[in-house]
């Protein structure tokens, strides 16, 4: 069966998986490059220039991390005046988000305006609410990824938690490699943080004084009467993350217990003035850490992922 390809702008097409898998459609629209946004790639792509974005049509799916990669892929095709097709299952949400992000960066136009540009050529386009937030964030960041942006870091963290929470649904023979890849992908996306961020606040183990994390890794702090900090997972936690979804957190040097984590979330300490659930939660006991350099950050930041 053939599918219909919508030309959004010159050389850039959007379709469902039926069209992307159809030799007739690929020939009819003279497609030379394909981007697949799905949980698995096309088994036999009908073009030699192919990019697979492993993704689900879920609000917690991190698509924004791929915007730079997909922009470059599409733009190279356009510069060569060759047709590129972006598709998912139905050509409504995931692939539409990728094409919208491309137009935003290319035209320097806001998210909603670019969604309407795409919808004008393909009326069924409707990115899910999570993708719309990511497009708006991309606009706010100036059409580029800023790994120091707190909202971006929360999207990456929420994706990690979502996938780790479902590890039990992965076939046993694939679990180890799949989970390692999930964890590795998380830290890879944020790998440039240490080079870009000059820490003003450093948190250390009170017992052995080893550096544990800095203020960029703090998700919530200065909560009134709260005895905990909620942080992003650290590279020294990788082995725990690949094996467990709930565990104590021990200092990587002296092994003193300094907190706990639960990727499904933990209720904030009951004495806090705001009762909320932090999800995912990597909870550090403030009595077990010391703060070096400047005072604790004055900005209160509470995860929007709960």
Closest-CA residue to 113 (of 122, 104, 121, 105): 104
Alpha helices in the chain (DSSP H): 17-20, 23-28, 67-79, 94-107, 111-121, 129-140, 150-165, 172-189, 193-196, 238-243
Give the whole-angstrom CA distance, residue 233 versus residue 187. Answer: 9
Domain 6-140 has CATH 3.90.190.10: yes
Q: Quick one: pLDDT at residue 111? A: 98
Closest-CA residue to 231 (of 260, 205, 264, 193): 260
- Per-domain boundaries in the chain: 6-140, 146-306
> Residue 182 is encoded by which pair of tokens?
């999930």
Give the whole-angstrom CA distance, residue 58 versus residue 131. Answer: 8
Give the whole-angstrom CA distance, residue 193 versus residue 176. Answer: 27
Answer yes or no: pTM beyond 0.85: yes
Q: Provide the pLDDT confidence category of residue 221 given band limits of 50, 70 and 90.
A: low
Q: Quick one: pLDDT at residue 269? A: 64
218 Cβ partners below 8 Å, 6+ apart? Answer: 229, 230, 231, 232, 297, 301
More confidently predicted of 220 and 174:
220
Residue 275 has pLDDT above 70, yes or no: no
Residue 224 has pLDDT above 60, yes or no: no
Closest-CA residue to 14 (of 160, 159, 120, 170): 120
> Residue 124 is encoded by which pair of tokens?
């069924």
Give the whole-angstrom CA distance, residue 161 versus residue 282. Answer: 11
Q: What is the mean pLDDT of residues 84-97?
A: 98
Backbone angles phi and psi of 297, in degrees to 5: -55, 140
Which range has the worst mean pLDDT, 100-104, 123-127, 142-146, 289-293? 289-293
Longest dimension (CA), the chain: 68
- For tokens 């094996």, name the residue: 243
Q: What is the mean pLDDT of residues 98-118?
A: 98
CA angle (208, 211, 195) in 5-degree steps: 165
User: Annotated active-site positions, please?
Assistant: 88
């Amino acid at each position: 069966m053939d599918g219909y390809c919508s030309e959004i702008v010159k050389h850039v097409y959007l379709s469902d998986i039926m069209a992307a898998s159809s030799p007739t459609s690929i020939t009819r629209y003279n497609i030379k490059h394909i981007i697949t946004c799905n949980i698995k790639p096309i088994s036999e792509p009908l073009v030699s220039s192919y990019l697979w974005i492993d993704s689900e049509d879920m609000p917690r799916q991190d698509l924004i991390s791929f915007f730079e990669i997909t922009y470059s892929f599409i733009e190279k095709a356009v510069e060569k005046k060759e047709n590129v097709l972006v598709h998912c299952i139905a050509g409504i949400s995931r692939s539409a988000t990728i094409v919208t992000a491309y137009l935003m960066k290319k035209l320097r136009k806001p998210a909603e305006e670019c969604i309407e540009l795409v919808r004008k050529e393909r009326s069924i386009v409707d990115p899910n609410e999570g993708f719309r937030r990511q497009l708006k964030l991309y606009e706010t960041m100036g059409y580029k990824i800023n790994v120091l942006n707190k909202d971006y870091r929360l999207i990456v963290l929420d994706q990690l938690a979502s996938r780790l929470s479902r590890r039990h649904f992965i076939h046993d023979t694939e679990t180890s490699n799949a989970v390692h890849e999930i964890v590795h992908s998380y830290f890879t996306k944020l790998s440039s943080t240490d080079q870009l961020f000059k820490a003003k606040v450093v948190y250390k183990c009170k017992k052995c004084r080893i550096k544990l994390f800095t203020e960029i890794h703090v998700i919530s702090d200065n909560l009134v009467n709260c005895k905990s900090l909620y942080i992003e997972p650290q590279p020294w936690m990788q082995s725990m993350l690949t094996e467990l979804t709930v565990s104590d957190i021990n200092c990587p040097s002296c092994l003193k217990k300094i907190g706990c984590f639960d990727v499904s979330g933990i209720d904030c300490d009951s004495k806090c003035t705001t009762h909320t659930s932090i999800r995912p939660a990597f909870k550090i006991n403030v009595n077990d850490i010391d703060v070096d350099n400047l005072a604790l950050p004055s900005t209160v930041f509470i995860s929007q992922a709960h």
